[in-house]
Chain A
Amino acid sequence: MAADTEIFFEHSHLGKPLAWSTGLHLGFWGFVLLLGLVLHGNRGAGWGAGGGGDAIGVALVSSVPLPANPTQTQNVLANESKGLTLSRPELQQVEPEAIPIPGKNAKVKPKPVTSASKQKTQPQPEPETNEVPFGGGGPVSGPYGTFNAAGAKGGFGFTGGGGDFGSRYAWYVRVVQQKVSENWLKYEVDPRIQNANRVYVTFDINRAGQPTNVRVEQSSGVPSLDQSALRALQRIDTFGPLPSDYSGGKVSVEFWFDYKRGG
C-alpha cells in the first residue's frame, strides 16, 4: 500500500514540470518559426526574378534581329552543331531466317513462312545521356523569336493600295511578318492569363517603311495582351522602304496575335 502511494505521489509531482516543459518547447519552436518568417519571409522576392541563381530554363522572347532557331531547344549555350553528335539511328535490316528443308520422313510440317516485312524491327538504341539528341543543338533558342512556340502565334493580312501587293512583293510580306514576330515580347502579357481571344491590330506602312496609325482593331479582352501587341508595333522603327517600283503611297496591314500560355 505504501509503495502505491509513493508511486502516485511521484506521478503527481511530475505533472506540472511536464506541462511547463511542453509549453516552453512549443513556445520556443513557435518563436523560431515566427522569427524565420519575419526575417527571411521575403527572401528572393527582389530583383532578378527571371534568371537568377542557377536556373537555366530560359524562355526569353526577344528582338535581336536574327531569324529564330527553327527548332526550339532548351540549351542556353550557343552551339554550332545542329545536334549531330548522335545521328539518326538507321533501321537494321533483319535477314529472314532460312527455311529448313523438310526431310523425307519428316512428320513435322514446316512452319508457315513469315515475311520479312511482318517481322518486328529491333528496338532503337537509346541515346547516351550526355549527347545532344538529333536536332536538339544549334544556337541558343532562348531570346530568339518564339513566335509560334508555347502555343502563341500570330498572323496577318495585307490590303495594298495597288491591288496585288502580296503577290508581287512576297519578300516584303515576309519581312513584315518576321519583324513583328521578333518584336512581340510575350512576357509583357499578364502571367495569369492562360488563354485569350485573338487580338487584331491594324496599321499602315508608309513609303519609308515606318508603321503608322497603329491601333487595336478588336481587343482580346485582356489589356496586357492588347498592350503587348501594340508595343510590338511601336518598337519597330521601320520595315525598310516599300519596294521602289510599287506605285501606292502606303500599305495597310492587319496583324493578329493569338496567345495561349504553355502550349
Chain B
Amino acid sequence: MTDRNLVYNLYRITIKTLADPFQADTTLPRPKLQGWAGALVCCLAGLALALFGTRAQAQDWIRTGTGLGVEKIKLAVPDFKPSTQDAKNAELLKTFDDTLFNDLDNAGIFDMVSKSFYPLEVPGNPSEVRFDAWSNPPVNASMLAFGDLGVSGGNVTVHGWLFDLKNTQSPQVLGKQYNDTATTDNARIIAHRFADEIIFRLGGGINGIAESKIYFVSDRSGHKEIWVMDYDGANQHQLTHIGSISLSPRISPDGSRLAFSSVTKTNWDIRMFSTELNRMVSFPAYPGTNLSPSWSPDGTKLALSSSRAGDPNIYVCDASGAGLHRLTTGKGPDVSPTWNRKTGAQIAFVSGRTGLPQIYTMEADGTNLQRITDQGYAVSPSWSPNGQFLTFAWFRKYGPGAPGANDIYLMDIASKQWVQLTHDGGRNDFPSWSPDGRHIVFQSSRTGSEQIWTMLADGTKVQQLTFSGRNSQPNWSWK
C-alpha cells in the first residue's frame, strides 16, 4: 500500500469515539509513530478523557492521518435540472451550468470530475441523490453540487445544494436559494454567487473571486484607454475616454475609484476615475512625470513615482492627493511602488540606482531599504494578499544573446526563495494578484500580440482572457 493510499484510508477513518480512545489507537495504522510517541498520545487521549469526560459524556475525539490536505477535493457538478416547463429554461440553464462549472474549475482547489463520467440520472433535489452512484467509480467524487433552476412569470428561481458524499448521515454542507428576474446575465451572476459560496466553505474561508473585476489598458478604441472585464474575461467594456495614452490602472481597495497615469498636454499626470459616478474626478496635477500610482490596503494613501524633484522617486500622498511627501532619494529612477497588501507597512518598488532595474523593499516610511533581486532585469512587482510573496517580471540573464526571456517569478519575501511561473512563451509582464491569493493575471505576448492571461499561482491553468486589439497592464480588483 502506498503512502497516499494509506493516508486516504486514514482519512476515511475519521472518527474515533473518545469512549474508547485506546481501541481507536490500535485500529489506526501507525507506520511512523515511535513507541514512546504512541504512548504519549495514549496518555494525552486518556488525559483528555479524564478532563472532558466528566463535562460531556458524548464527546468525540477525532484523529486523522497526515498529509490529507494536499489532495484536491474531487467535485462533481452535474447540470442543474429544470424545475418548471418554461421555454426560457434551456437558455438560462446553459449559461448557468457553464458558468458554475468554469468558476469551480478555475478556483484551483477542486479536482473536477469530467461530466462524461456522470450517471445518466442527475439529481435535482436532495431526495434524488444516489450516494453510491456518485462516490463509486467511475465518478469517485467526494463532493457533489447539484440543484434545479426554473423560470416562472419572468422570474428565475435556483436551488443549489452541496453534499459531502462520504457522509451519508448528514451530507448537506450547503443549501441555497436564489431568486431574480430571468435574464442570462442574472443566471451568470447566480452561478458566480453559488460557486463563491462553495469555494468559501471548502477553501478555508477565503472568498471566491467569481465576482471580481480586472482593469486593464486596451487600444481597441484607437487610443490606449482603461477597460474593465469580469475575472473570466466576460463583459469587457471601456471605462475612460480621454483620447491620449492612459497606463497603469489601479483600483482602490473598496472598488470605488481608479487611479492611473495619463499623458496631458505638458506631462504625465496621475488621474482619478470614479467607478460609482462613472466619470473622472479631480486629482492634483504635480509637476514632472508622475507614474504608477498604488493604493495602500486601507485605501487612504497613494504611493506613486514622481520626477518633480529631478530623478523619479517614490512619493506618498493621501487619497485626495494632499500631503505629498518623498520616501526615496538618490540617483536613478524609482518607479512601480506596491504596498504590502496584508500589513500596509512595507512598499516594494523598482529602482535603477545600480544600473539595470531591480526590486527593492522598504518600510512605508522609507527606512530599511533592501534589494531583493540579485541580477538581471526585474520590474513590475505585485504583493500577494497574504503579504508573504512578491510576484514580478524578471529577465534573469539580461544582455545580448543571453538565454531565457521575460517571465513571471514568485518570491517568498522572508526566505528570498523563488520559483518561475511562466516559461517558453513570449514576453510576460505586469503580474497582479487576485484577491484570494490563488490566481495571477498577467500580460503576455506568447500569441504574437500583447494580451491578458491568468494562471493559478503555481503556474498551471494558464488561460487567455482577451483576444482583440492589444491589451496590457492588468490590475485585479481587491474583492
Contacts and interface: CB of A to CB of B under 8 A. Distances in A.
A145 B40 CA distance: 27
A77 interface: yes
A153 B56 CA distance: 31
Interface in A15-67: 47-53, 58-60, 62-67
B117 interface: no
B374 A48 contact: yes
A142 interface: yes
A173 interface: yes
Contacts of A243: 173
How many A residues touch the partner, as a band?
Answer: 35 or more
B417 A70 contact: no
Interface in A150-193: 153-161, 163-168, 170-171, 173-175, 177-179, 181-182, 185, 187
Nearest to B4: A70
Interface of B: 4, 11, 14-15, 32, 37, 40, 44-45, 48, 52, 56, 58-73, 108-109, 143, 164, 166-167, 169-170, 173, 200-206, 370-372, 374, 384, 386, 388-389, 410-412, 414-423, 436-438, 455-462
A176 to B, nearest CB: 8
10 contacts: A47-B372, A66-B109, A67-B70, A67-B73, A143-B389, A148-B70, A159-B48, A159-B60, A166-B15, A174-B68
Contact of A238 (B71, B205, B414, B423): B205
Contact of B40 (A60, A67, A198, A235): A198
Contacts, number: 225
A90 interface: no
A241 B417 CA distance: 33
B388 A63 contact: yes
Overall SS of chain B's interface:
loop
A175 B71 CA distance: 11
B67 A147 contact: yes
Contacts of B32: 153, 258
A70 B419 contact: no
Interface string A110-151: 000000000000000000000000000011101111011000
Contact of B69 (A145, A158, A254): A145
A80 interface: yes
Interface in A204-263: 209, 235, 237-241, 243, 254, 258
Given A65-B437, A240-B200, A177 B412 contact: no
Contact of B164 (A49, A76, A171, A238): A171
Given A47-B372, A48-B416, A239-B205, A163 B66 contact: no
A20 B437 CA distance: 70
A203 interface: no
A181 B70 contact: yes
A78 interface: yes
Query: B64, B143, B417, B456: which has the most chain A beta carbons within 10 Å?
Result: B417
Nearest to A244: B174
Contacts of A198: 37, 40
A158 B410 CA distance: 35
Contact of B60 (A138, A156, A164, A238): A164
